[in-house]
Amino acid sequence: MATSTTISHEIADSLRNEILRRQYRSGQRFPSERDLAARFDASRGAVREALSQLEQLGLIRIQPGGARVQSVDSASIAILGPLMAMDEVPDPILVDQFLQTFGVLSALTAKNAIQAASEEELIQLKTMVVELAEQCSDFESMQPKWRELLDYMSRVADNLVVRLISNDLKAQFVDQMMKLGIKPELKKNTLKQLLNSLRLSLNSRDGEIAAAALQTHFEDLRRAVAEAIRFKSEGLKRTAM
């Protein structure tokens, strides 16, 4: 038997998707606890917990007399993953905005990390770049090493705000892209240039070199991902014919 917590999550997920699909207008009064309990055949307690989850996401505001729908623009970053999962192919504009934002954060993190790293941390960063180079032939197999490198850089840079934002972005985005089968193809020379720049940056302790290289990398990645999304979309259209 499903627990009350499981039921509340299921209700919240269903209502969240309806809000994201614009089935409710911003400012519109949300259905009452009683109506929702009847609709989902659930207890008022489970519904109340589901509404609390939606409020934490910033999708509704619970007020005396009922809840009202909020604009998606005012929601938390936690809705990024669900937004991407709404359809078989993610919104290319949303994906591009993510990559642009994450690219800026990654460049800032790398710059600060290299400038702040101790000798021991610098050695570890160099080792991680070497390990990453060993996986550069395949984009998917590189991802765990990329995450390790960026996570370590964020710890060395010691910028809590950037770490928290980056963690949430990665959790909401990267895994979802893999689940959807979006696999961009980057040219090997592009990846080699990035790794060479990272090595040069670490050897010279010049964070600006790493920052510039990562910005260029994410520009290339944006183009590759856009092409991968277009290819998948066209494939689905052909299948549907």
Per residue in 196-229, pLDDT (tens digit) is: 999 999 999 999 999 999 999 999 989 998 998 8
User: Do residue 130 and residue 183 come from a single domain?
Assistant: yes
In DSSP terms, 69 is beta-bridged to: 60
Q: Which of the residue ranges 59-63, 97-101, 132-136 would you say has the lowest mean pLDDT?
A: 132-136
User: Do residue 98 and residue 160 come from a single domain?
Assistant: yes
User: Do residue 86 and residue 196 come from a single domain?
Assistant: yes
User: Do residue 222 and residue 108 come from a single domain?
Assistant: yes
pLDDT at 1 over 60: no
The amino acid sitting at 26 is S
pLDDT by residue (tens digit) across 77-90? Answer: 888 888 887 888 88
User: Do residue 162 and residue 180 come from a single domain?
Assistant: yes
**Which range marks the domain in which residue 67 is found?**
4-75
Rounded mean pLDDT, 81-109: 87
The last residue of a domain, from among 51, 75, 99: 75
Domain count, the chain: 2
The last residue of a domain, from among 56, 75, 94: 75
Tokens 């290339």 sit on residue? 220
User: Do residue 157 and residue 63 come from a single domain?
Assistant: no
Tokens 């010279």 sit on residue? 204
CATH of the domain at 55: 1.10.10.10
Q: Residue 78: what pLDDT?
A: 83
Tell how far CA 217 is from the center of its chain. Answer: 17
Rounded mean pLDDT, 4-14: 89
CA angle 27, 32, 37 (to 5 degrees): 140
User: Do residue 113 and residue 33 come from a single domain?
Assistant: no
Cβ atoms of 106 and 44 closer than 8 Å: no
User: Do residue 162 and residue 221 come from a single domain?
Assistant: yes
The last residue of a domain, from among 75, 100, 127: 75
User: Do residue 164 and residue 186 come from a single domain?
Assistant: yes
Structure tokens at 118: 């101790």
pLDDT more than 90, % of the chain: 54
| C-alpha–C-alpha distance, residues 89 and 180, integer Å | 7
Tell me the pTM: 0.80
User: Do residue 40 and residue 107 come from a single domain?
Assistant: no
Q: Residue 159: what pLDDT?
A: 83
| C-alpha–C-alpha distance, residues 53 and 12, integer Å | 7
CATH of the domain at 233: 1.20.120.530
User: Do residue 211 and residue 189 come from a single domain?
Assistant: yes
User: Do residue 156 and residue 221 come from a single domain?
Assistant: yes
Q: Residue 23: what pLDDT?
A: 94
